[in-house]
Each structure stands twice: as structure tokens, then as C-alpha cells.
Structure 1
Amino acid sequence: MNQTEVTMVRIYLTEGDHQLRQLLDFLHQQEQVRGVTAFRGIAGFGRSGKAHESSLLDISLDLPLVIEFFDLPEKVEQVLQDLNKLIEPGHVVNWPARLN
């Protein structure tokens, strides 16, 4: 079985950051990475300790968001350098993976 080494990246945001559309456009149109998915969380908290969550009684407009993408390691290195200009430090993680 042929496998391709890639790097996975996750970007952690909240809806209140208002960066989702900008980042999706950046990753798709400018950087043209292989694949991108955005996830909307039901609860979460970050460094600030402030909880962001939804309940059945209300629809929060500040829920957690995760943007995940992958590409070849050398491509991701360049994308990460460019992302550093858009994303606050400590909100991006990456790890090696394999495509089957």
C-alpha cells in the first residue's frame, strides 16, 4: 500500500473571533492546501479559562471552532509561517500523519 507523509494542522478559535471566513478563504484560495474542514464545538475553554458553551435554552454566538487541514510537510511549513501573521500564538497545533 502506498502511503504519503503529510502534516495535519488544527487551529483553535471561537466564533467571537470572526476569523472563520478569512481563514477558510486564505487556506483554500491563497495557500491551496489539500483539504480543510471546520468544526463547531458545543463547549470548550482555552488559556483564559472562559467557558464557551451552548445549551438547549440558548444559541451561543461564541462557540469553539476548530479548523483542520493537511498537506505535504514542506507545504505546511510555509502555510504555518503565513498563519503566524493571522493567528494568535498558542492556537495552532500540528503533527505528522499518513495518507493511505
Structure 2
Amino acid sequence: MNLPREAELLRVFIGEGDKYDGRLLYELIVEKAREQGLAGATVYRGILGFGANSRVHTSKVLRLSEGLPVVVEIVDTSEKIQALLPWLDEVIREGLVTLEKATVIVYRHNHGG
């Protein structure tokens, strides 16, 4: 798969415990991206953050590390990203979705050797 030099970067900010139909939302997003043939998806777990409700989520030792922020990043063509957005709107009950232009410098995989 090749990516054009001009692409888009989709970021989805949610909580690590957020679910849809009983499944972890960040896992569903990655699976959906793969199912729709997007170039790839990466999930990052935050150590501290807050969102629209201004509730701080932290991974400090004295607190349970539940509800930490999670960011899912996906880079692909505008067309493929746009095709994913209606589904995201359906499954995200709380969070933030951003989109920005991205310049692809390198996108390659090991050919098994």
C-alpha cells in the first residue's frame, strides 16, 4: 500500500475504559480502521489529562489508574478518513475528534526479509 505525500491525520481522544456495545472503544476503532483498509492506527495511553467535563484523570500510584486518556491516531488519504467519520460519530459518546493535514515522508513495511 502506498500513501500519497499529502494525507490527513485523524486523532481520537477518548478514555481507556470507554466502551461501545460492551467492547473497548479504542480496540473497535483500530479494528474498524483495519477493516476499512486504512494504512494503520496507533493507540497511545496518556498519564494525565482532562476533557470537556474538566475531570482530571491521572496514573499516580495512590489512585487507581482507571479512566486514563487514550489517543488513537490514523494517517491516510482524505477519502478514507472521511469514510470513517460517520461511524466514529455514532460510537463516540464522550471525547474529541480532530483532523489535520499531514505530509507523509516515509511509509513502508518489511517485506519479510
What TM-score do you get using the length of structure 2 for normalisation? 0.77
Mean CA deviation greater in 32-41 or 72-81: 72-81
- Could you tell me how far 1:90 is from its partner in structure 2? 5.7
Unaligned runs of at least 5 residues, structure 1:
none
Number of aligned residue pairs: 97
Aligned residues: CA RMSD: 1.7
**C-alpha distance after superposition, 1:16-49 (max 9, x if no partner):** 2131221121111x22210211000000000001
1:1-100 matched pairs, under 5 angstroms: 4-18=5-19, 19-28=25-34, 30-88=35-93, 91-100=96-105
Inter-partner Cα distance in structure 2 for 1:89 and 1:13: 7
Which SS does the other structure have where 2:27 is aligned? helix
| Contact 2:49–2:58 under 8 Å retained in 1 | yes
Q: Which runs of 4+ in 1 moved over 3 A?
A: none
